[in-house]
Amino acid sequence: MAELLAPAGSRDSMVAAVRAGADAVYLGVGGFNARRHAQNFSVQPNTDATPSLNEAVAFCHARGVKVYVTLNTLVLDRELPDALAVAKAACDCGADALILQDRGLARRIHAAAPTMPLHASTQMTCHTPAGVKQLRDLGFSRVVLAREMTKEEIADCANLGCELEVFVHGALCMSVSGQCELSAMLGGRSGNRGLCAQPCRLPFSAEGHPAPDETALSLKDNSLYDHIPELLELGVTSLKIEGRMKRPEYVAAATAVLRDLLDHKHPDPQVMDDLRAVFSRTGFTDGYFTGVRDSSMFGMRRAEDIAPPAVLNRLSHLYRAERQSVPVTLHLTADPLTLTATDPNGHTVTVCDEEAPRLDNPLPADRLIAQLQKTGGTPFAAEATAEAAAVPLSCVNALRRRALEDLLRLRGVPVPHPYAETELPAVSLPDGTLNGLVARVESLEQIRGDANADVWIVPLGKRPNVSRWGVEIPRGMFGKEPFIQKQLERAAADGAQFALCNTVGAIPLAKAAGLTPIAGAFLHTTNSETLSALAEDGAAAAILSFELTFPQMRFAEQKGCVGLFAYGRQPLMLLRACPISASIGCLGCGGSHTLTDRRDTAFPVRCAGECSELLNSVPLYLADALGQLPPHAFLYLHFTDEAPARVSRVLEQYRHGGKPPSGFTRGLYKRGVL
């Protein structure tokens, strides 16, 4: 039976999830989680409105529900001690797993607490068999797969020695998770650090569309209720509901419907209707799972999608009472009056009333059994045995209450995971792998004879006439891993030396083909531990995250071959549901179009194989400030739509300095992100 995993963004939502039938909940603690705006939980005992992690774990464990703590954000070097303190608190209170994005943080936690299960967040962009196997070998017991995968792609990732978790209901990010910089770049609020401002829900229109289309970057919510049997056949371990920012009524409705489906019951039609009413964006979509990625996937929340109070009131009934889902065996003996309660986990409680008044006639066993089984108001469902006893029923009731209260407390007692800080070796990237200028282009025509890069990175399948070159492994490899592996082997045979890798599944493919991996900016290197982790993986060079400020990059000094993203239209989103294709179709596109926001700013959209990329409206430019850059081994220049002459000119400017173009950005290097 697959696990039903529900969101707990607050105490009320946690209670709603548990009472509606969740097998596990996931929740955030403090500021190191991808929903920092949720109420979340506190490491410290409850002293105000913020519930404590200890209380949450005790409440859930007492009711047979697991707790997964989200630590799924990027962490700066100076933040590592605080993030590790949260991990230790989760270990101390006996949480059941940690959900992680940051490779460096995962490296440290796995060394300190090897018995604590680690789950790879969907923010790690795992969507290929190679990615699953890589994370398995790094110590992760479960992978939360990318939401954009089809049924067939999920099947390819099954039975690889790692549990799979799949989102089955809730909001869809427009970008592939972990590959989005739109909120960070436009407003300084990083989705990778839990503060996404959701700019994709603002009006964007597609070039060439016959009428304004404000939903060009807004997807409907995901709903896979009709596909639960297929997911179970695939061997998916956990069915996950998105929604740590949602109301308890939403959590209860989504959980209750899934609980019925998993229990082979027909969901209550009224609850199904209320679930549609409590939150939707003009309906739901299953387009990713089915592979039907068209205009029907897009939608915006409108006035008619707001649930009326009557809906919320009906749904609140789903979690007003305890769910009697914990089996307990009760055994009553008469002299002295003693009750023993035992649960399936081996917890046993015995209570006694030696002073119970005696009746003239004993009550028969069946009458006492019926009384013992009245466990309403508790999470217990009782099977009972009893001896006839000449005592008032009130004494039996009191013993039952005492026994179940004691058993509930006992079930909530933490079973800690051992945690011991371990000094890990600070592994550096090798020196001298790359230096100077590394130029990435989209076509060989951009490489003119006078273009002067030290290393060229070209698309897979291309062979440039240069001495030092490599290929870029696509960020979106959905279903294409065998084909990409063959292309990498062909590139190596043609003389390629390097492979630019931006996802966790790319590095093992590069190594298998005999190419030297370069960790790209979308592997999100924001701390020294991640550099060490990438070096251990086999990366020979790394481009730092462009969410860092220059002072925040100091951790990378003297750490080997580290580079900066120094030029180009920075990718802001990786899109599998292409808004251009949905608007005008692929045949009318030509591979390059634009989206326009409410301020008439145009953002290029470039075709990228199975996906497309939304690029920044203007290029990052630093050639006039070369002396202000932090120490680095190389500069990475990301060319997209530049003409060959422009490529040559930019390369010359980054050799000797030059004036910026009329429209440019300094990116986030000075202003940073929240």
Rounded to whole angstroms, how far apart are CA atoms 287 and 298?
A: 10
* Cβ burial, residue 266 (10 Å; 0-12/13-18/19+): exposed
pTM for this entry: 0.96
* Cβ burial, residue 649 (10 Å; 0-12/13-18/19+): middle
Rounded to whole angstroms, how far apart are CA atoms 80 and 104?
A: 9
Nearest residue to 558 (alpha-carbon basis) of 580, 584, 531: 531
Residue 543, number of CB atoms within 10 A of its CB: 26
Nearest residue to 563 (alpha-carbon basis) of 542, 537, 546, 547: 542
Sequence-ordered list of residues with C-beta below 8 angstroms from that of 179, at least 6 positions apart, any chain: 125, 475, 502, 503, 522, 571, 573, 574
Which tokens is 409 given?
Answer: 């407390």
Which tokens is 235 given?
Answer: 């061997």
Rounded to whole angstroms, how far apart are CA atoms 55 and 68?
A: 14
Sequence-ordered list of residues with C-beta below 8 angstroms from that of 613, at least 6 positions apart, any chain: 475, 571, 572, 573, 574, 575, 605, 606
Which value, to the nearest 10 degrees, does the dihedral of the CA atoms of residues 397, 400, 406, 409 take?
-100
Nearest residue to 457 (alpha-carbon basis) of 447, 448, 449, 568: 447
Beta bridge partners of 541: 518
Every domain of the chain and the residues it spans: 3-172+219-319, 326-411, 433-564+620-667+670-674
Rounded to whole angstroms, how far apart are CA atoms 157 and 178?
A: 19
Q: Is residue 74 within 8 Å of residue 31, measured between CB atoms?
A: no
Residue 46 confidence (pLDDT): 61
Assigned CATH for 433-564+620-667+670-674: 3.20.20.70
Task: Name the maximum alpha-carbon separation found in the chain.
Answer: 109
Sequence-ordered list of residues with C-beta below 8 angstroms from that of 63, at least 6 positions apart, any chain: 18, 322, 323, 325, 326, 379, 411
Residue 500 confidence (pLDDT): 98
Phi, psi dihedrals of residue 563, rounded to the nearest 5°: -125, 165
SS percent in the chain: helix, strand, coil, step 5: 35, 20, 45
Residue matched to tokens 């209720």: 225
Q: CATH classification of 3-172+219-319 is 3.20.20.380, yes or no?
A: yes
Which residues of the chain are under the pLDDT cut of 70? 46-49, 208-213, 303-305, 588
Nearest residue to 104 (alpha-carbon basis) of 574, 525, 664: 525
* Cβ burial, residue 420 (10 Å; 0-12/13-18/19+): exposed
Q: Is residue 287 within 8 Å of residue 297, measured between CB atoms?
A: yes
Residue 47 confidence (pLDDT): 56
Residue 591 confidence (pLDDT): 75
Q: How far is CA 610 from the centre of its chain?
A: 21
Rounded to whole angstroms, how far apart are CA atoms 540 and 563?
A: 11
Rounded to whole angstroms, how far apart are CA atoms 503 and 524?
A: 9
For 171, half-sphere exposure in the C-beta direction (CA atoms, 13 angstrom radius) is 20
Same fold, 3-172+219-319 and 433-564+620-667+670-674: yes
DSSP code string of 576-642:
SS-HHHHHH-GGGTTTEEEEEETT--EEEEEEETTEEEEE-SS-B--GGGGGGSPP-SEEEEE-SS-
**DSSP type of residue 304:** G
- Reported as a single tens digit per residue, the pLDDT across 150-174 is 999 999 999 999 999 999 999 999 9
Q: Is residue 327 within 8 Å of residue 383, measured between CB atoms?
A: yes
Q: How, if at all, do strands 562-568 and 634-638 pair?
A: parallel
* Cβ burial, residue 580 (10 Å; 0-12/13-18/19+): buried
**DSSP type of residue 35:** -
Residue 209 confidence (pLDDT): 58
Strand order, beta sheet including 602-608 = 204-206, 592-597, 602-608, 611-615, 571-575
Cis before 309 (ω within 30): no
Cis before 430 (ω within 30): no
